[in-house]
């Protein structure tokens, strides 16, 4: 099945962490929950779930490339969405992120789950996304 390999996209701050932003084992790539932060750890788009989602997908793309994968290899995503005042407002904001997904997946979407949460470890983040990719046929 192969050795577990930590994926390093060249983000210096992650070398100090006790977790990997992504791991490859055999033909599978597991991408940790990813927040909308820049290379220095600063939040992109405070208060804007669309801007944070765009940054997350940019980072996931970097992780996929570092693992030798593409967006076509992504079979599963999980979105953790912070409740923003009330349920309907949260869902209306979340629906605005669909265009970001379309930019990366076209019409070849992976299986997906969205979960509404009270908060994330990074308190100003509105969304965190994790993914699984399977390489090869």
**Residue 110 is part of a domain; what is its CATH number?**
3.30.1330.40
| Structural domain harbouring 90 | 4-134
Average of per-residue pLDDT values in the chain: 92
Q: Which residue(s) pair with 6 in the sheet?
A: 23
For the chain, how many structural domains are there in total? 1
Question: How much is the pLDDT for 137?
Answer: 66
pLDDT surpasses 90 at 31? yes
User: What are φ and ψ of residue 34, in 5° steps?
Assistant: -120, 130
Question: How much is the pLDDT for 59?
Answer: 96
pLDDT digits (tens, 9 = 90+) for 86-136: 899 889 989 999 999 999 999 999 999 999 999 999 889 999 999 999 998
3-state helix, strand, coil split of the chain in percent (to 5) is 30, 30, 40
User: What are φ and ψ of residue 81, in 5° steps?
Assistant: -110, 125
Q: Do β-strands 111-117 and 74-82 pair in parallel, antiparallel, or remain unpaired?
A: parallel
């Amino acid at each position: 099945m192969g050795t577990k390999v930590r994926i390093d996209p060249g983000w210096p701050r992650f070398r100090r962490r006790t977790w990997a932003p992504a791991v490859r084992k055999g033909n599978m790539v597991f991408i940790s929950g990813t927040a909308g932060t820049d290379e220095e750890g600063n939040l992109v788009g405070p208060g804007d779930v669309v801007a944070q989602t765009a940054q997350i997908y940019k980072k996931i793309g970097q992780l996929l490339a570092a693992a030798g994968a593409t967006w076509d290899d992504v079979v599963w995503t999980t979105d953790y969405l912070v409740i923003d005042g009330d349920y309907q407002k949260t869902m209306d904001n979340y629906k605005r992120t669909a265009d970001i997904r379309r930019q990366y997946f076209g019409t070849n979407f992976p299986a997906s789950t969205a979960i509404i949460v009270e908060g994330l470890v990074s308190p100003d983040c509105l969304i965190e996304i994790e993914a699984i990719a399977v390489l090869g046929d």
